[in-house]
Amino acid sequence: MITSPLLVRWYGTLAAVAAVLATQAIVLPRWPTAPAPLPAEQLEAKLGEAKLLSLKDRPSTASLWHAKRNIELATSTPVVIPLRGGYELTVIEGSMRQRFNFQAGTIARDQPSLKLRKRHLTMAPVPTAAGLAQDRPVLQTCLVRGPGLDEPFGVTREQLTAIADRRASGKVAALERVIGLQANRSYACTLISLRGPQGEPPSDGLWQQVLGLVKPVLQSQD
């Protein structure tokens, strides 16, 4: 039978171990998790049903960059889908190690077709970054996937970390993090980038339609 002093010592040891693990997760976060492959066929099927898919100018798989993972950022292999009218949709998952890197621009920074210049933000129909990539107009946002997120889109660090905090809130989630069943925070989102022909920015209507088609397909993967 465990005596009272032994029980106190056992609980004290358990609390100390939990504190060390929690501190390690905050001060020395793990490498970002490698994202799972994106549902390319489902995305193309949904866009095809809406008559948005271009049947020509399919990108060569050899021309696409591959999944990457380093100490700060892990990205999936992108899904690049040409749309009618010369538009191009790129979807890529990114997972960041540090909270201060959790923004759409971090995922896009190494790819010329995604990296924006003359960048500015708008809030319609969702938080969106607009700018130019390779002299073509682009709209971008990032989708945080997870249950119970009514407003899952963001662009800036402030927007995306607020969504991550909402997803990780609650007593059950807190307990799971302490005992190791859930990461301290997951700084991951899916970048959705719509690029138009040179001089023809995507309209708000097309952007909203694309997001409405892509969002349920991505969320169904959780």
Indicate the pTM of the whole model. Answer: 0.79
Query: For helices 40-49 and 204-219, what crossing angle results, to 10°?
Result: 140
Exposed e or buried b per residue across 1-25, where buried means at least 16 C-beta atoms within 10 angstroms of its C-beta: eeeeeeeeeeeeeeeeeeeeeeeeb
pLDDT attached to residue 55:
76
- Domain boundaries defined on the chain: 1-30, 31-219
Average pLDDT, integer, range 177-187:
56
pLDDT per position as a tens digit, 47-95: 999 999 987 766 555 557 788 888 889 999 999 999 999 999 999 999 9
- Please give the pLDDT value at position 56: 72
Coil, strand or helix at 79: strand
pLDDT, tens only, 96-134: 988 989 999 999 988 999 999 999 999 988 999 999 999
